[in-house]
């Protein structure tokens, strides 16, 4: 009884959010036009994505860094792309953070590593985006726009929004390790039994110089492999299914979507 009451309350709250943050037809169409891989989606999916994007806009806070102005078109585009991985999982998956910090361009972060001899090495890392556990998600608008038509298209399934939000999902169990929050240790073992051989196969292909649908950055570790594979899963699903069928099935069962079948 309480569960039903709670569910009704929740639905009412969500409806209010969707009304409050309704996305105009013009802005919505503009956002869709920038993401040609969504053209295959049925109208029903797009309508649900539009509602999820409104919920996302209502729950998250965008801020621009260094004077960058986040206008409605930018916020709607990010909200739409971030909603895609949670289309069947629900927007609550993103409850662990509120802020999204947008930069005009990629950010150079100063990094430090200490080697075995205790010597500190400093280097610069160029970031198109970054997700931290419980912290804000950082995105570079230049990189978010990178996949838009008319721009020079990157050869792989580059999508920095899906990438960073896959990291958010990965970190829901507290660990950025390529394993999202699953029911228990058996499910975790089952996940690793598919993910790790797929990761090893990808690394071998990369070393041997074979082309892959996955960006070579995926070789950095299982966490990046999951994030990069998630990009390909949504942007170039057929190609991922052909190259890594078991990995495709793993992601399809987790995201509860089968974009290659559309
Ligand atoms: Zn990453």
Question: Cα 99 to chain center, whole Å?
Answer: 15
Q: Is residue 196 within a helix (H) or strand (E), and if so which, with residue range?
A: helix 185-207
Which of 164, 162, 145 minimizes the C-alpha distance to 154?
A: 145
- Provide the terminal-to-terminal Cα distance of the chain, rounded to the nearest Å: 38
What is the Å distance from ligand 1's center to 142 Cα? 17
Give whole-number Cα distances, 184 to 115, 180, 187, 190, 197, in Å: 35, 11, 5, 10, 21
Task: Name the phi and psi angles at 157, rounded to 5.
Answer: -80, 60
What is the Å distance from ligand 1's center to 218 Cα? 8
Q: Against a cut of 0.85, is the pTM above it?
A: yes
Cα 6 to Cα 50: distance, rounded to the nearest angstrom: 24
What is the Å distance from ligand 1's center to 45 Cα? 27
What is the Å distance from ligand 1's center to 37 Cα? 21
Mean pLDDT across 234-248: 97
What is the Å distance from ligand 1's center to 2 Cα? 40
Q: Which two tokens stand for residue 205?
A: 């292909």
What is the Å distance from ligand 1's center to 17 Cα? 30
Cα 63 to Cα 141: distance, rounded to the nearest angstrom: 12
Cα 10 to Cα 83: distance, rounded to the nearest angstrom: 19
Which of 223, 189, 217 minimizes the C-alpha distance to 203?
A: 217
What residues form DSSP beta bridges with 172?
Answer: none
**What is the predicted pLDDT for the residue at 19?**
92
What is the Å distance from ligand 1's center to 180 Cα? 14
What is the Å distance from ligand 1's center to 19 Cα? 34
What is the Å distance from ligand 1's center to 72 Cα? 26
With a pLDDT cut of 70, the percent of the chain lying above it is 96
Chain mean pLDDT for the chain: 93
Cα 123 to Cα 14: distance, rounded to the nearest angstrom: 45
Mean pLDDT across 173-193: 96
């Amino acid at each position: 009884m309480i569960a039903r009451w709670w569910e009704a309350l929740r639905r009412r709250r969500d409806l209010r959010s969707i009304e409050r943050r309704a996305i105009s037809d013009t802005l919505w169409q503009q956002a869709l036009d920038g993401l040609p891989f969504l053209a295959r989606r049925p109208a029903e999916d797009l309508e649900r994505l539009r509602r999820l994007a409104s919920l996302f806009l209502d729950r998250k806070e965008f801020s621009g860094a260094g004077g960058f102005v986040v206008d409605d078109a930018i916020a709607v585009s990010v909200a739409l792309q971030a909603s895609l991985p949670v289309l069947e999982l629900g927007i609550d998956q993103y409850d662990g953070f509120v802020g999204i910090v947008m930069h005009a361009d990629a950010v150079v972060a100063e990094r430090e590593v200490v080697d075995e001899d205790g010597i500190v090495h400093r280097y610069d890392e160029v970031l198109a985006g970054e997700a931290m556990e419980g912290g804000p998600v950082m995105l570079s608008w230049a990189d978010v726009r990178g996949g838009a038509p008319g721009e020079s298209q990157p050869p792989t399934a580059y999508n920095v929004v899906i990438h960073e939000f896959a990291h958010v999902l990965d970190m829901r169990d507290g660990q950025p390790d390529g394993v999202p929050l699953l029911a228990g240790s058996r499910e975790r073992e089952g996940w690793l039994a598919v993910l790790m051989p797929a990761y090893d196969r990808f690394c071998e292909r990369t070393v041997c110089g074979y082309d892959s649908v996955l960006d070579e950055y995926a070789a950095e570790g299982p966490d990046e492999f999951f994030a990069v594979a998630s990009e390909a899963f949504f942007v170039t699903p057929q190609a991922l299914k052909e190259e890594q069928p078991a990995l495709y099935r793993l992601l399809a069962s987790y995201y509860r979507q089968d974009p290659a079948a559309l």
